[in-house]
Amino acid sequence: MPHNLPIHARIAALNGYYRHNAGIDVLSGAITNPKAGQLTLVSSFGAESVVLLHMVSVVNPRLPVLFIDTEMLFPETLAYQTDVATHLGLQDVRTIRAADIAAQDPNGTLHQSNPDACCALRKTAPLEKALLPFDGWITGRKRFQAGSRASLEFFEADGPARIKVNPLAHWTPEDVQDYIINNRLPRHPLVAQGYPSIGCAPCTSPVRKGEDPRSGRWRNTEKEECGIHIVDGKIVRRPAA
């Protein structure tokens, strides 16, 4: 599977090869397989992030981990990021921040008038810059999380040349909780307060019993993704059809 093949051909070959593999085997294979190129893990250090972070610590604790600090995160998330990185022995955690927030959102109110623009400013743009040295990136996205993720595969294209790896794509909520319990991993402190999905503080609310776990993200809007995800080469910021 040479690199001069079209990106979609490479993706199809990778998905075919790893189709029946467990999540950690997909992760290990992607990291060690030169055909996948140089990878980084992008982590929000959110409610379920510790699963993939733990897997990385087992497979290769030197793998670069990108953490986007939007400067609107919960204080609990910032403290959790430091604690988890130390607890797991992750050796290359890189905190990414936008360089022009003061100029484009001086009052910190852009999320109220244009949440898509706020995500683009604080997440998408700095992440895109941070990803430039890499051939692909690893995410913790799962099929059960949202309608736009229902057909998620282990490998997908991110633009014309970069690969995105989703080792936990086929995991269920029960798989996630079992892994955290069995490996005695530290939980994000806000989970116990009713936050099963955690993003920026102004755009995240507690979830009531019976609600979808991601219903607390951008509540009462059509917005479903933060804008750092790509579907068919386009940034997804609203529910996909």
Residues catalogued as catalytic: 226
Alpha helices in 38-123 (DSSP H): 49-59, 75-88, 101-104, 110-113, 115-119
Calpha distance 59→129 (Å, rounded) = 26
Amino acid letter for position 149: R
Q: Residue type at 171? A: W
CA distance 124 to 116: 10
For residues 116 and 223, give the distance between their C-alpha atoms in angstroms, rounded to a whole number.
8
Task: Report the alpha-carbon angle 136-217-171, nearest 5.
Answer: 50
10 Å Cβ neighbour count for 128? 15
Identity at 141, one-letter amino acid code: R
